[in-house]
């Protein structure tokens, strides 16, 4: 309750936190290059979405993932085909990481028929059964019991799959999260809870909203282990997710608290008075997840400046094409208004 000066959090600790073993010294060239590419795709995609929003082509809420790219890309590397993913409304990066197309996501942002929800869902509500991406949820915390239920179905079917359930530091205070934890542990459900601790829930810093700020400890009273992970380091993320996946299959739920940071405002209109410009700049300059991989690629002599420029150009092309597609794709037919309310044969 005590209101103090607007939060001025220190940058997250630079060193890899003690609990998680340091990232494996390296990664094979191909994998590092793929990480670079996947993270860059998310960043450029989000920048483009920001532009289209500014042009009035995207409306409503639009929560960008810029700064947090290493989290989904690292986790996805540890998942296997058929594993499920579910998250909240800051979901564009997750969808791209799951292999959903930039075109389909961007066209949903513009509310067109070519979008994943045929224009009916928008930024916060997108899904792909094919890619096992279960949304896309606008209500903070609601995805946590649903993700737990996906894991319940996995165990029920004994299919050897796990559900990666993402939520924010703010969502971590919702009661339903703890109801889920209890059931997940009780029934040993194969679920990985990934808390994307980007330090803020809208304008509220973790310190101002949470009595226990080490969110990975939040499972303690349920006997669910937790790990704090440097969420800016894609290799540390991947390693932790690999351990977590094994754990989820043999022991049940586990919590990964990804220490990360969002560079942009909460949504598109955010006065951002709750943190300083310097704080943001400092993290961008010292811990940027993409720069980190770039440096690793250079250091290991896996890639030259030119190699990466080539990737940059490819990405730019994909993103530009998605923007074109999203502009050209027509609005849904008025008859779409009445479809999909209940399961019925499509005419």
Partner 1 sequence: MPVEVLMPALSPTMEEGTLAKWLVKEGDAVKSGDVIAEIETDKATMEVEAVEEGVVGKLLVAAGTEGVKVNSPIALLLEEGEDAGALDGAAQKATPPQPSPEGEGEDADARKPATAETSPPPPAGEGRGGGRPASKPASDPEIPAGTDMVPTTVRDALRDAMAEEMRRDETVFVMGEEVAEYQGAYKVTRNLLQEFGPRRVVDTPITEHGFAGLGVGAAFGGLKPVVEFMTFNFAMQAIDHLINSAAKTLYMSGGQMGCPIVFRGPNGAASRVGAQHSQDYSAWYAQVPGLKVIAPWDAADAKGLLKAAIRDPNPVIFLEHELIYGETFDVPAVDDWVLPIGKAKVRREGSDVTITAHSRMVGFALKAAEILAEEGIEAEVIDLRTLRPLDTETIIESVKKTNRIVCAEEGWGRCGIGAEIAAVVTAEAFDYLDAPPARVHQEDVPLPYAANLEALSLPGVDDIVKAAKAVCYRE
- What residues line the site for ligand TPP (CB under 6 A)? 90, 138-140, 168-171, 196, 198, 200-202, 266
Query: How many Å apart are CA 75 and CA 164, to the nearest integer?
Result: 8
Q: Quick one: 53 or 200, whose CB is closer to ligand TPP?
A: 200
Q: Which residue from 9, 31, 34, 61 is in contact with partner 1, where contact means CB under 8 A?
A: 61
Name which of 13 and 337 has its Cβ closer to partner 1: 337
**Where does residue 64 rank: exposed (0-12), middle (13-18), buried (19+ CB within 10 A)?**
buried
Q: How much is the CA Rg of the chain, to the nearest whole Å? A: 20
Residues 67-126 touching partner 1, rule: CB under 8 A, are 108, 111-112, 117, 119-125
Distance (Å, rounded) from C-alpha 197 to C-alpha 215?
A: 8
- What is the closest distance, in whole angstroms, from the C-beta atom of residue 313 to Mg ion in the complex? 33
Interacting residues with partner 1 between 280 and 309 (CB under 8 A) = none
CA 318 → CA 38, 41, 324, 332, distances in Å?
A: 12, 8, 10, 24
Q: Is 49 helix (H, G, I), strand (E, B) or coil?
A: helix
Tell me the closest approach of the beta carbon of residue 92 to partner 1, in angstroms: 14
Angle (CA) 223-165-60 rounded to 5° is: 140
Residue 261 to residue 50: CA distance in whole angstroms: 18
Q: Any contact of residue 209 with partner 1 (CB under 8 A)?
A: yes
In this structure, the strands spanning 254-259 and 226-230 are parallel
Q: Shortest Cβ distance from residue 210 to ligand TPP (Å)?
A: 10
- Report, in Å, the least distance between residue 140 CB and ligand TPP: 4
Of 171 and 236, which CB lies nearer to ligand TPP in the complex structure?
A: 171
| Smallest distance from Mg ion to CB 89, Å | 11
Question: Which of the ranges 228-236, 289-297, 312-320, 327-335 carries the binding residues for partner 1, by CB under 8 A?
Answer: 327-335
Strands 226-230 and 204-205: unpaired
Shortest reach from residue 88's CB to partner 1, in Å: 11
Q: Evaluate whether 257 touches 197 at the Cβ level (below 8 Å).
A: yes
- Site for Mg ion, rule CB under 5 A: 168-169, 198, 201
Between CA 61 and CA 137 the distance in angstroms is: 12
Give me the least distance between CB of 331 and partner 1, in Å please. 4
Residue (33 or 171) nearer to ligand TPP, CB:
171
Tell which residue, 164, 227, 202, 189, has the closest CA to residue 20.
Answer: 227
Structure token pair of residue 165: 């359930």
Please identify which residue in 6, 21, 82, 160 interacts with partner 1, judged by CB under 8 A. 6
Q: What residue ranges bind partner 1 (CB under 8 A)? A: 1-3, 6, 59-61, 108, 111-112, 117, 119-125, 137-141, 170-171, 173-176, 201-204, 208-210, 273-274, 331-332, 334, 336-338, 341
């Amino acid at each position: 309750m005590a209101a103090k000066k607007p939060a001025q959090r220190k940058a997250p600790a630079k060193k890899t936190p003690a609990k998680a073993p340091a990232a494996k010294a390296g990664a094979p060239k191909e994998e590092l290059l793929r990480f670079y590419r996947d993270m860059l795709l998310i960043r450029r995609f989000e920048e483009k979405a920001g532009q289209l929003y500014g042009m009035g082509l995207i409306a409503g809420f639009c929560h960008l993932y810029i700064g947090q790219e290493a989290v989904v890309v690292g986790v996805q590397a540890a998942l296997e085909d058929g594993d499920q993913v579910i998250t909240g409304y800051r979901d564009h990066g997750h969808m791209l990481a799951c292999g959903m197309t930039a075109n389909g996501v961007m066209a949903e942002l513009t509310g067109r028929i070519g979008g994943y929800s045929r224009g009916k869902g928008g930024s916060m509500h997108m899904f792909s059964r094919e890619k096992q991406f279960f949304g896309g949820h606008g209500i903070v915390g609601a995805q946590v019991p649903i993700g737990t239920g996906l894991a319940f179905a996995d165990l029920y079917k004994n299919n050897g799959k796990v559900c990666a359930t993402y939520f924010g530091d703010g969502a971590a205070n919702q009661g339903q999260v703890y109801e889920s934890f209890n059931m997940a542990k009780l029934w040993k459900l194969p679920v990985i809870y990934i808390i994307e601790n980007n330090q803020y829930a809208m304008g509220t810093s973790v310190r101002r909203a949470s009595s226990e700020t080490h969110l990975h400890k939040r499972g303690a009273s349920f006997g669910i282990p937790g790990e704090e992970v440097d969420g800016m380091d894609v290799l540390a993320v991947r390693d932790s997710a690999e351990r977590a996946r094994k754990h989820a299959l043999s022991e049940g739920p586990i919590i990964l608290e990804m220490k990360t940071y969002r560079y942009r405002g909460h949504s598109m209109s955010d006065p951002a008075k709750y943190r300083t410009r310097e704080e943001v700049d400092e993290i961008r300059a010292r811990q940027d997840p993409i720069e980190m991989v770039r440096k690793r690629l250079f250091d290991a002599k896996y890639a030259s400046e030119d190699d990466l420029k080539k990737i940059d150009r490819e990405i730019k092309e994909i993103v530009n094409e998605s923007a074109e597609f999203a502009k050209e794709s027509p609005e849904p037919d008025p008859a779409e208004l009445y479809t999909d309310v209940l399961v019925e044969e499509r005419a």
